[in-house]
Homo-oligomer: A and B are copies of this chain.
Amino acid sequence: MSAPARQSTPKGTQTAAKVRAAALKLFARNGYAAVSMREVAQNVGVQPGALYNHFATKQDILKDLMLAHMADLISAWEREAANKSSGADPLDTFVRFHIRYHLEKRDEVFVSYMELRNLEPDNYQQVGAERRRYETILTDILSAGAKSGRYQVKDAKVATRAIIAMLTGIPSWYQPGGALDPTEIENLYAALVQRSVGSAANANTIGERVS
């Protein structure tokens, strides 16, 4: 009898995915340098040597995680931007997207900006390029808004860095079940950002719309 279509084993990727998941969790919790391949293997439920059937080196796991994160972040934004009605304020859309994404993928985000220094030069370049690609999204929004007179931004690049730093700091203190839920955080930060770029009317609207 033909095998009962047991889900057709999606590729040899099954164990590699477990390795990624275990490494991500451990790197996020203890830092890349402090995590041993033995620990990763134990979390996967396998002997250390088996890891090398899926990744050539420990560094390759880190590179894989970081590049995958950047690709996912950028494509998630592209979906978000495509689905938004053209009437929505793009800065508001971006801020809320960034916060939501960063609170959903805490480990990926944390590893991706804490472990930059542990990337070998070549991998560092690659990740840095993706990072700049993402930041350019916000810079373009701010530049367009400044040109149209909607925002008062003297230097769109500086404002980009300021806003991204502000938003990216959120996961470092956010606790699920804490005093603020993600939507409240979105509202507070959206108001702060709108005002910071001189869009006061918008800030009030947005700041209140949840009350």
Contact = CB atoms under 8 A, between A and B. Distances in A.
A164 B172 CA distance: 12
Interface stretch (A15-23, A72-80, A191-199): A191-199
Contact of A31 (B33, B161, B168, B191): B33
Interface string A179-193: 010000100110111
Contact of A166 (B162, B188, B197): B162
Contacts of A164: 169
B161 A173 contact: yes
Interface residues of A, number: 37
A158 B163 CA distance: 14
Contacts of A166: 162-163, 165-166, 169
B117 A188 contact: no
A90 interface: no
A158 B195 contact: no
A77 to B, nearest CB: 20
Contact of A162 (B155, B180, B189, B207): B189
Interface in A81-103: none
A30 B117 contact: yes
Q: Which 7 A-B pairs have the closest CB atoms?
A: A165-B169, A33-B33, A196-B196, A166-B166, A192-B196, A162-B166, A195-B196
16 contacts: A31-B118, A34-B118, A154-B188, A155-B188, A158-B180, A158-B185, A162-B169, A164-B169, A165-B168, A166-B169, A168-B169, A192-B196, A192-B197, A196-B196, A198-B200, A200-B200
